[in-house]
Homo-oligomer: A and B are copies of this chain.
Amino acid sequence: MSSTTQKTGFGLGNLPYGIFSTVDDTRCRIGIAVETYVLDLSVFLQQQPVQNLDFDSSVLRDETLNRYAALGQPVHQHVRAHLQQTLPRLLKQDETGLRAAGLCPRSEVLNHLPFDIGDYTDFFTSPDHARRCGEIFRPGQPMGSNFSSMPLAYHGRSSSIVVSGTDVYRPSGQYLKDGVKTFGPSQKLDFELELGVFVGKPSQRGKPIAIDEADDHIFGYVLMNDWSARDIQQFEAQPLGPFNGKNFCTTDDLPCYLKRSDGRVEHVYDIPVDIFIKAPRYDGTLVMSSNTKHISFSPAQMLSHHTVGGCPMRAGDLFASGTLSGATLQEAGCLLEATWNGIQKLELVSSQGDGASEDDVRTWLKDGDTVSFCVGGAASDIDFGACEGTICSKSSSDT
């Protein structure tokens, strides 16, 4: 029997969505994480119909969340309230009862990408990240006045977005090495901690989303890792922005509902996030601790700005905050800042207690390294699941 007092970050106040399958049933289906279980939403709503809510229930049998997300906040809030009311009773059952109710242990499920992601947009809204990137990449050029006027962004690549746990292939590309043009595997592989936002209710071309309507178009939030190859990025990025330095892989996890604590459209969420690096002989070193609050524009402001010129949003479109970095290097969201473009070294803590080795230090990611983002703080009510990926020794140019 499950204990409802067990602290998992997946309590009734969280209830993140996902797409999952199991060994016994390989269909991709919509799930809700609760405590140590995943609830099959379609099974649940068949057995426990939600009252006074009319929607096309065929969306519950889809292999992605796109059509369900498009139903909009009123439907999701209704379902959420119904789950919060019904789940405590269901969770008190024995193993057989739990399975019959559509609940299966999270340890048994395979997660899949929650959406068929149409477009992915990466914002650039952390003032400390922007300041340091400017000092490193464009020394002597002050940040333009546009940075404070609006949430700057660039379009990213959706085809390379993967679910947490998927391996990351080290990209090859062109870059300058000691000032000489070269081609080869990136020598400056990095991560970027970001807060991602999935669009639910779509908008039409030519119809901006007003700032006070933006939250109605947001389905949920994820932690994201926008893996970056700094050498490739630096050589290619002027004048058009990042391209191959960013498009080889982006990792996301489970979309959570976040409620504004103060109801203001400028609201940013205050969620501490720890960054760990694990390696074959290193159990997992906490290298930095950042926070989702390190942004100068709120998600609602980002979405409103994105559509102000008439750009249409589809359910499943994704946008992200940009790297979340705080005032100190210990609060940076990427190695570029923490190691100051490879100059400072970060030390990993060996799990084997043996002597110092050159494997102990990192300026950039090595093959075999696993990067994990986890909600920090002892008593957080929110857990996005792991946002984790391991660098594959196979370079993309070896294939």
Contact call A310/B205, Cβ cutoff below 8 A: no
Decide if A327 is an interface residue (CB 8 Å cutoff). no
A248 interfacial by beta-carbon distance below 8 Å: yes
Chain B residue at minimum C-beta to C-beta distance from A138: B239
Asked whether any CB of chain B lies closer than 8 Å to the CB of A311, the reply is yes
- Inside 8 A of A396's CB, which chain B residues have their CB? 206-208, 308-310
Contact of A150 among B134, B160, B174, B242 (CB under 8 A): B174
Do B240 and A158 touch across chains, with their CB atoms under 8 A apart?
no
Distance between A113 CB and nearest chain B CB, rounded to angstroms: 12
Which residue of chain B has its CB nearest to the CB of A238? Answer: B144
Are A311 and B160 in touch, CB under 8 angstroms? yes
The reply to whether A118 and B310 form a contact with Cβ atoms under 8 Å apart is no
- Nearest residue (CB) in B for A309 is B171
CB contact between A153 and one of B162, B186, B238, B243 (< 8 Å): that residue: B243
The 8 Å CB contact of A309, one of B150, B244, B305, is: B244
Are the C-beta atoms of A160 and B240 separated by less than 8 Å? no
A-side interface mostly: loop
Closest residue of chain B to A399 (Cβ to Cβ) is B207
Q: How far is the CA of A172 from the CA of B308 in the complex (A)?
A: 6
Report if A236 contacts B (CB, 8 A): yes
CB < 8 Å neighbour of A247 from B172, B237, B309 = B309
Are B312 and A160 closer than 8 Å at their CB atoms?
Answer: yes
Q: Does A124 contact B (CB under 8 A)?
A: yes
Residue of B nearest to A398 (CB): B206
- Asked if A39 is at the interface of the complex by the 8 Å CB criterion, the answer is no
Report whether A240 and B242 are in contact in the complex, using a CB–CB cutoff of 8 Å.
yes
Min Cβ gap A53→B in Å is 29
Interface flags for A130-169 (1: CB within 8 Å of B; 0: not) read 0001100110000011100110111111111010000001
Does A112 have its Cβ within 8 Å of any Cβ on chain B?
no
Asked whether, in the complex, the Cβ of B205 is within 8 Å of the Cβ of A244, the reply is: no
Q: Are A169 and B248 in contact (CB under 8 A)?
A: no
A310 and B146 form a contact (CB under 8 A) = no
> Which residues in B have their C-beta under 8 angstroms from that of A145?
181
CA distance A181 to B119 in the complex (A): 29
Max count, chain B CB within 10 A of own CB: residue among A173, A207, A238 = A238
Q: In the bound complex, do residue B155 and residue A154 qualify as a contact, i.e. CB atoms below 8 Å apart?
A: yes
Q: How far is the CA of A138 from the CA of B144 in the complex (A)?
A: 14
A129 at interface, CB cutoff 8 A: no
Given contacts A150-B174, A174-B150, A181-B145, contact A119 B309 (CB under 8 A): no
Flag if B155 contacts A248 (CB, 8 Å): no
Interface residues, chain A, with chain B CB atoms under 8 Å away: 118-119, 124, 133-134, 137-138, 144-146, 149-150, 152-160, 162, 169, 171-174, 181, 186, 205-208, 229, 232, 235-245, 247-249, 305-306, 308-314, 317, 392, 394, 396-397, 399
Q: Please name 25 pairs of A and B residues whose Cβ atoms are closer than 8 Å in the assembled complex, sorted by A.
A: A119-B158, A119-B159, A138-B239, A144-B239, A145-B181, A146-B238, A149-B235, A152-B236, A152-B240, A153-B240, A154-B241, A155-B155, A155-B156, A155-B157, A159-B205, A159-B312, A160-B312, A172-B310, A186-B309, A207-B399, A208-B396, A208-B397, A208-B399, A240-B241, A244-B305
Closest 8 CB pairs of A and B: A241-B241, A171-B309, A310-B396, A169-B206, A155-B155, A154-B240, A240-B241, A247-B311
